[in-house]
Structure 1
């Protein structure tokens, strides 16, 4: 699963669980924590803050816009944010987690970075051909 898609999926799962009043305290806490981290990541980006608010009300319709805002804000390189999303999904869907549904796989990715305070310069070329 793509890192930003993981974050948006976790937010949607937390919003749905909360709206259905089926959420445990652990789910509520994990959802609140993730929302706080996302809000912090999007701070100062009016369009990002608006996308998060809309997503809270309409997760299905606002997912793609929020994904774009999170990509622009560099959320895919934030290990704390990714771990918070994964923890929420584990609480909401433990069977999916055991099946590997929420595993982030960056094999073949170009320009990915994990960690904080990194400096990266990317020069992309076409990936190697797999044809003989």
Structure 2
């Protein structure tokens, strides 16, 4: 079990009950969008507003405690920050899986073919999972 109180403090964030609940939801669900997170949070904090969720998410993003995964033709999902990785997304059921690829090779090639100095990457591969095939 992760000590989210300590992890939040390491990222210069106060360990509020809302941030602890957001962290727990992300740990439990892996990848979660704002709508699903809001539904979970309402069960724990019946008067929480969507604005409060967004405020906390943005602050947690700014402090690199969580990261956003931008999905093609879907709402972004959020996850706890971990080692650099990519994502596989099923086009039928929207299941999201982490996948470890050697991204540095891809980034080096992209920089070599352009005049960009790449500072961020978000590789999402779309297809059909085994269950949906």
TM score, norm. by length of structure 1: 0.31
Q: Per residue, is there more helix in 1 or in 2? A: 1
Q: Per residue, is there more strand in 1 or in 2? A: 2
